[in-house]
Structure 1
Amino acid sequence: MKKLMLIAFVFAGMSLSAQNASFGLKGGLNFGATGEYESVGDATGDFTSSFEDGENKTGFHAGLFAQFELLGIFIQPELMYTQLNTEYSTFDYTLNKIDAPVLLGVNILGPLNIKAGPSFQYILDNKADGAGIEIEEVENDITVGYQLGAGINLGRLAFDLRYEGAFSENTAFGLNETAAEEFTLDSRPSQWILSVAYAL
């Protein structure tokens, strides 16, 4: 009898999860920058050091999401392609990555919700666009950051505003041939993310 009750509860839970699951597409714009640029020396062997924060620029993201809801609380895993752009004084820096945030959210008032959670990132490539600039791959291909924000659901459409940050630095090394100096660049993101999603 107990086994029958357990099986019944399992099937009831699976049915409830299926009824409260949604899947869809999402995309939008992100506005932010990577971290600090630091020059660490020059061709003469004399040590020099200077620092520069990158200027925020607009990028984009697109991908898939799922949402599983129960009693007003939901889990929302996503798989996104993201391009993050940053402007430094002598070059533009582009970071392309796959983001896999797993967010826990709660519906707070009607269609409004808040959500937060870790974001797993896989760096596809990084590029520096500037005369005489050479840059190497980032130190870690896989990093973990975080996202937090709020959203509004309007039927099949949903709008979302989040902030994304990182827990630790992820250094890329480079050479500025024009200035005859080596430099490091913190590739961790700091950005605002504005998205629109459509549930299929």
Structure 2
Amino acid sequence: MKNLIVAVLLLMGGSAFAQASYGIKGGLNYGATGEYENYSQVAGDVSTIENGKSKTGYHLGLFGKFEILGFFLQPELVYTKLNTEYENFDYNISKIDAPILLGVNLLGPLHIKAGPSFQYILKNELENSSRDISDVENPITLGYQLGVGVNLGRVGLDLRYEGGLKENNAFGEMATDNNIKIDSRPSQWILGLSYTF
């Protein structure tokens, strides 16, 4: 009896882990980074705080999917380009995202997923401005993603929301005595199309 239970557990474990797949994905992002602050270097007081306007960006990457007893684990490695419009300039970020999502299959091809998302900022820069911006304080940060998706054969479509957990500022100087600070945390919607091999 004991050997039968062990054999059944091994078969269940083997069949669960046998449902592994991988693929490619890409799509559009719509969102913005955090607040822009223009503050006096002398007084130390914040003189201007501005929220960025959302713009469209894009992402491209790879994913794996491991189904276990009705649940699945989906790690990804994705290149993301994010743009934000402020009053006098645009702020552009290029980053590598590594979300690790836990999901569950619902009715038919529908599923939901959520989890942490690590990001490594490759480059951040100001566009349409003579100002310079420093690198972000922390090149690697942690955020989160949550969303819903549908799989139609090998093709998948999902919609997610991504947010940041902690401020990650980049700093710059103006020609006057004022400094600037931009919170690089993303707050964006992600529409993705995937293909499983």
Q: After TM superposition, is the score higher than 0.5?
A: yes
> What residue is the counterpart of 2:74 in the other structure?
76
> What residue is the counterpart of 2:195 in the other structure?
198
Shift of 1:154: 0.1
Which amino acid letter does the alignment assign opposite residue 173 of structure 1? F
Across the aligned residues of Structure 1 and Structure 2, the Cα RMSD in angstroms comes to 2.0
Shift of 1:72: 1.9
Could you tell which deviates more after superposition, 63-72 or 23-32? 63-72
SS in 1 for 2:13: helix
Q: Distance in 2 between matches of 1:37 and 1:3?
A: 64
Say how many residue pairs are matched.
196
> What residue is the counterpart of 1:88 in the other structure?
86
Asked if 1:184 corresponds to 2:181, the answer is: yes
1:108 to 95, 106, 109: 106
1:81-102 Cα deviation digits (max 9, x unpaired): 0011001111111111110000
> What residue is the counterpart of 2:27 in the other structure?
28
1:108-151 Cα deviation digits (max 9, x unpaired): 11111111000011111101112321100000011000000000
Q: Distance in 2 between matches of 1:76 and 1:169?
A: 26
The answer to whether the Cα contact below 8 Å between 1:72 and 1:107 also exists between their aligned partners in 2 is: yes
> What residue is the counterpart of 2:164 in the other structure?
166
Q: Distance in 1 between matches of 2:135 and 2:118?
A: 18
Shift of 1:40: 1.3
**What does residue range 109-188 of structure 1 map to in structure 2 within 5 Å?**
109-177=107-175, 181-188=178-185
SS in 1 for 2:167: coil
Q: Distance in 1 between matches of 2:147 and 2:139?
A: 25
Unmatched tracts of structure 2, length 5 or more: none
1:7-38 Cα deviation digits (max 9, x unpaired): 884475235312x1110000000000000001
Which amino acid letter does the alignment assign opposite residue 199 of structure 1? T
SS in 2 for 1:13: helix
SS in 2 for 1:138: coil
Give aligned-pair identity as a percent. 58
